[in-house]
Structure 1
Amino acid sequence: MSDFAIPTSGRFWLRHAAIPAGTVEASLPAPRDGYLHDADILIEDGRIAAIAPATGGEGADLQRRIVFPCFVDMHTHLDKGHVVARTPNPDGTFTGALTATGADRAAYWTGEDISLRMDFGLRTAYAHGVGAIRTHLDSFAEQSEISWGVFRDLRARWAGKIALQAVALTTIDQYDTPFGAELAALVARSEGILGAVTRLSGVDHGAIVEIDRLLDLLFAQAKRYGLDVDLHVDETDDVAAFTLPRIAAAIERSDFRGRVTCGHCCNLALQPETTAAETIAHLARLGVTIVTLPSANMYLQDRTPGRTPRWRGVTLAHELRAAGVAFAVATDNCRDAFVPYGDHDTLDSFRFALRVSHLDHPYGDWAGAITAVPAAAMGLKDCGLIAPGRTADLVLTRARSFDELVSRPQSDRTVLRAGRVIDRTLPDYAELDILKGAKPRTLAGPSAA
């Protein structure tokens, strides 16, 4: 976007920007076509000094191109990323992903290995315009200390570039063991988020008889340390394995006041209409955030060799939003056994979600699902919105409408951090060739999503 002549510093205007509804906080006329605000943005000393209705004048003319705040990706797995070449999923199924990931983790996940792959992912995300990431970290036995140590180091190294959060990912039954208490203490020391997947160790899905008691144990640990909670929920087409209403009941039963996020929630779409509506209303009353991961769920759900999938695998986006539930879109896994594709690009996930979940006709303010909504759910104060006083962290695309945004990947986007254009050169996959020759080590542990 060099033809727009973005100044390198000082005070300047970005004229005729098209800001998606749901991503801006300013007094502006009603959005054009129902979803794009035509605005001029004044940047001064790296911050947004003013936002005004587009009138033109001196400055960089964006010609009504779409401008986002830097993206907020609130559900990723940086610790799993980029192992697909050395440990692929044998059949593309959820069980195959669990097995392959457990084997890769046991054989290779040293601090050096995890750090190399996570840093590669962070550099990639940064180049795409991601300003904040929440990553889940596989947290079992000895692996927990290793992975959380790497995370703390990377969080410090990336401070000021990507705001990093981490969630402990383990199976729910681990909170019924001494390790569960140890893990909660580790997460508290690391200023992280407590989490779990609502299934048992070594089981891909299925109803859990003791789910209420296990959820109570998890929320008790979260309350003990003042931690927020982020759960992997109902990532299956098994209608009987429906834990989302059990989670809502556990939040009330424990009088939990922290933030709660539930990711995936796939089988909500397969529940009877009345059950789904009651569950969604309950979530809305409690202020639970729901995150959809379309790339992962479209890849894994309803997969049977030789059979075309019969359902989309994604959750009830429209029904959740209509009920007032905070709803976010995120990338999930990247080039591993759960999703062998991806590039840590939140905009790519949004473009995919628009098509898969019919977030169009009208487009409305769905763009907030990768910006303002996840920023609020993560408790971030200077991220996810274009607003006066905020840091000028912006993504300038070539698209003038969402049909243009979806039709091309926007690989020619420009990213501003604190008002300055950054180098968007992506790290070369050749950097990861060293992973193929990594020497296996021995560290056993159960599997998690």
Structure 2
Amino acid sequence: MLNIPTVRRYQLRNATIPADLAPGLSAPAIQGLATADLVIADDLVESITPAAAAPLLDASIDLRGGMVWPCFTDMHTHLDKGHIWERAPNPDGTFMGALETVQADSASHWSAADVSTRMEFSLKTAYAHGTQLIRTHLDSLPPQHRISFGVFEAMREQWKDRIALQAVALFPFDIMTEEADFTDLLTVVQASGGLLGGFPLMNPEIDRQFDRLFRAAAEYGLDIDLHVDETADPSAMTLMAIAKAKLRHGFEGAVTVGHCCSLAQQDDDTAKRVVDLVAKADLAVVSLPMCNMYLQDRHSGRTPRWRGVTLLHELRAAGVRVAVASDNTRDPFYAYGDLDPVEVFRESVRILHLDHPLDHAAKVITSTPASILGRPELGVIAEGQPADLVLFSARRWSEFLSRPQSDRTVLRKGRPIDTTLPDYRDLDAIFGV
């Protein structure tokens, strides 16, 4: 960790910044990276100038080309499921194995105290890594919706000065029938300032289900964030149905779709039609590459044949806002992970080929997800904004992507925070250890 001056005004010299993340910086960019000096004063970024263009301050640190990023946004997580692996491992690593294991664990263990302990651990981890905005999906079949949203609201208040939190109600779409009454769920979500979610599956009633979803979202003033087509089946066309429903209803709220794996299994003509419709409907797309590499195309004794990710390049080329995120962490849907956006970015570059060039790649865990989540002031380095920054010793992309960057320095309002990660032993009590 760097030794940051304790004075109210200091300078970070010879910093390397992804140029996309500092829109006011006019320095020339090489491979999307620009060299700059930053002045931090009274918790804010006072100035960003090309390197050596501003006067040298007495209180200054020479970063020697080390990268400076804004803090991160992790826009698709499952904080209610996190860290249950020790008591609920996936028996075979499959999607169905994960679903059944989580259902059993939640029925037996997901009290407010249990969810709170694991959520707190996750937030400590994310904060230490440099995250400042998280959206989490919360399993919301009654009565769990009241338990988990109650915990979420308490955590949002407790963490409001460190991590901004958003929550999405996650539920199976078979409740989206004319006979089902989900008024209580809508009331809880609206009261918490949450979003409507769910995991729709292709079925003869899918259009009517989406009609009810969009009518409810409009009536209650809610945005939508859905789990979509998390399968290798090319006939799964839920993504197209969502785009059509949004256009059909003239829905003015934000709609985000996650996973969209089947899109990568469809023929080129079909995929192009879907991508064009997604762009027309102004859907935002988040890919979860680490989790879907783990789950998709898994068969005992057989090597997987595909990567499990969506068509991020084609979507972005069509003008769709795209991002990546952590998804699950140490639970039956993904046995690993640490809510570290640097890890997510590094693996996404490799899995999704976000490189060659890397000029605009940094946006997928910073400015783009922040914008999708309605916080466009986050995920960028701008004069007059809080000095919420992450400092790395890595100077160039190859250095940054070749190591975990565990020696990073995280600044919040210009001051370094303790980046010590919580000890897994802190969770022993909920596992009866």
- Letter aligned with residue 194 of structure 2: G
The residue number in structure 2 matching 1:32 is: 30
Alignment partner of 1:64: what SS?
Answer: coil
Moved more, 373-382 or 213-222: 373-382
Deviation at 1:254, TM superposition (A): 1.0
Given that residues 39 and 53 in structure 1 are in contact (C-alpha distance below 8 angstroms), is that contact kept between their aligned partners in structure 2? yes
Kindly indicate whether residue 310 of structure 2 is the aligned counterpart of residue 310 of structure 1: no
The residue number in structure 2 matching 1:186 is: 188
Q: Deviations over 1:140-185 (max 9, x none)?
A: 0111100000000000000010000000000122222544332112
The residue number in structure 2 matching 1:52 is: 49
Task: Normalising by structure 1, report the TM-score.
Answer: 0.93
The residue number in structure 1 matching 2:431 is: 436
The residue number in structure 1 matching 2:357 is: 362
Work out the CA distance in 2 between the residues paired with 1:179 and 1:123. 37
The residue number in structure 1 matching 2:8 is: 10
Work out the CA distance in 2 between the residues paired with 1:270 and 1:78. 29
The residue number in structure 1 matching 2:99 is: 98
Q: Deviations over 1:326-384 (max 9, x none)?
A: 00110000000000101110111010000001111100211111010011111115421
- Letter aligned with residue 142 of structure 2: A
Aligned identity (percent) is 52
The residue number in structure 1 matching 2:329 is: 334
Moved more, 398-407 or 136-145: 398-407
Work out the CA distance in 2 between the residues paired with 1:8 and 1:247. 52
Deviation at 1:188, TM superposition (A): 0.3
Work out the CA distance in 2 between the residues paired with 1:245 and 1:421. 45
Deviation at 1:9, TM superposition (A): 4.0
Given that residues 17 and 65 in structure 1 are in contact (C-alpha distance below 8 angstroms), is that contact kept between their aligned partners in structure 2? yes
The residue number in structure 1 matching 2:237 is: 242
Kindly indicate whether residue 224 of structure 2 is the aligned counterpart of residue 229 of structure 1: yes
Alignment partner of 1:376: what SS?
Answer: helix
The residue number in structure 2 matching 1:441 is: none
- Give unmatched runs, 5+ long, in structure 2: none
Work out the CA distance in 2 between the residues paired with 1:217 and 1:230. 15
Q: Deviations over 1:76-105 (max 9, x none)?
A: 000000000001000000000000000000
Q: Deviations over 1:397-438 (max 9, x none)?
A: 111111111110000000000000001111110011112229
Given that residues 46 and 392 in structure 1 are in contact (C-alpha distance below 8 angstroms), is that contact kept between their aligned partners in structure 2? yes
Given that residues 232 and 263 in structure 1 are in contact (C-alpha distance below 8 angstroms), is that contact kept between their aligned partners in structure 2? yes
Given that residues 293 and 332 in structure 1 are in contact (C-alpha distance below 8 angstroms), is that contact kept between their aligned partners in structure 2? yes
Given that residues 79 and 138 in structure 1 are in contact (C-alpha distance below 8 angstroms), is that contact kept between their aligned partners in structure 2? yes
Alignment partner of 1:117: what SS?
Answer: helix
Q: Deviations over 1:111-131 (max 9, x none)?
A: 000000000000000000001
Kindly indicate whether residue 252 of structure 2 is the aligned counterpart of residue 271 of structure 1: no
Work out the CA distance in 2 between the residues paired with 1:390 and 1:300. 40
Deviation at 1:40, TM superposition (A): 1.1
Given that residues 388 and 411 in structure 2 are in contact (C-alpha distance below 8 angstroms), is that contact kept between their aligned partners in structure 1? yes
The residue number in structure 1 matching 2:112 is: 111
Deviation at 1:224, TM superposition (A): 0.6
Kindly indicate whether residue 173 of structure 2 is the aligned counterpart of residue 169 of structure 1: no
Kindly indicate whether residue 37 of structure 2 is the aligned counterpart of residue 43 of structure 1: no
| RMSD of aligned alpha carbons | 1.2
Alignment partner of 2:64: what SS?
Answer: strand
Count of equivalent residues: 428
Work out the CA distance in 2 between the residues paired with 1:282 and 1:65. 41
- Letter aligned with residue 43 of structure 2: G
Given that residues 9 and 45 in structure 1 are in contact (C-alpha distance below 8 angstroms), is that contact kept between their aligned partners in structure 2? no
Task: Normalising by structure 2, report the TM-score.
Answer: 0.97
Given candidates 372, 382, 391, the residue that maps to 1:396 is 391
Work out the CA distance in 2 between the residues paired with 1:358 and 1:243. 25
Moved more, 231-240 or 397-406: 397-406
Q: Deviations over 1:223-252 (max 9, x none)?
A: 011111000000000111221110000001
Work out the CA distance in 2 between the residues paired with 1:408 and 1:72. 21
Work out the CA distance in 2 between the residues paired with 1:15 and 1:378. 32
Work out the CA distance in 2 between the residues paired with 1:120 and 1:36. 34
Given that residues 86 and 435 in structure 1 are in contact (C-alpha distance below 8 angstroms), is that contact kept between their aligned partners in structure 2? no
Work out the CA distance in 2 between the residues paired with 1:326 and 1:87. 35
Kindly indicate whether residue 414 of structure 2 is the aligned counterpart of residue 412 of structure 1: no
Alignment partner of 1:141: what SS?
Answer: coil
Alignment partner of 2:257: what SS?
Answer: strand
- Letter aligned with residue 304 of structure 2: P
Given that residues 82 and 336 in structure 1 are in contact (C-alpha distance below 8 angstroms), is that contact kept between their aligned partners in structure 2? yes
Work out the CA distance in 2 between the residues paired with 1:31 and 1:171. 47
Query: Structure 2 vs 1, CA of residues 80 and 352 (structure 1 numbering), >3 Å: closer, same or farther?
Result: same
Given that residues 290 and 328 in structure 1 are in contact (C-alpha distance below 8 angstroms), is that contact kept between their aligned partners in structure 2? yes
Q: Deviations over 1:37-87 (max 9, x none)?
A: 211111110011111111173321111111110000000000000000001
The residue number in structure 1 matching 2:197 is: 195
- Letter aligned with residue 17 of structure 1: A
Deviation at 1:8, TM superposition (A): 2.6
Moved more, 209-218 or 376-385: 376-385
Kindly indicate whether residue 348 of structure 2 is the aligned counterpart of residue 347 of structure 1: no
Kindly indicate whether residue 381 of structure 2 is the aligned counterpart of residue 422 of structure 1: no
Work out the CA distance in 2 between the residues paired with 1:209 and 1:197. 15
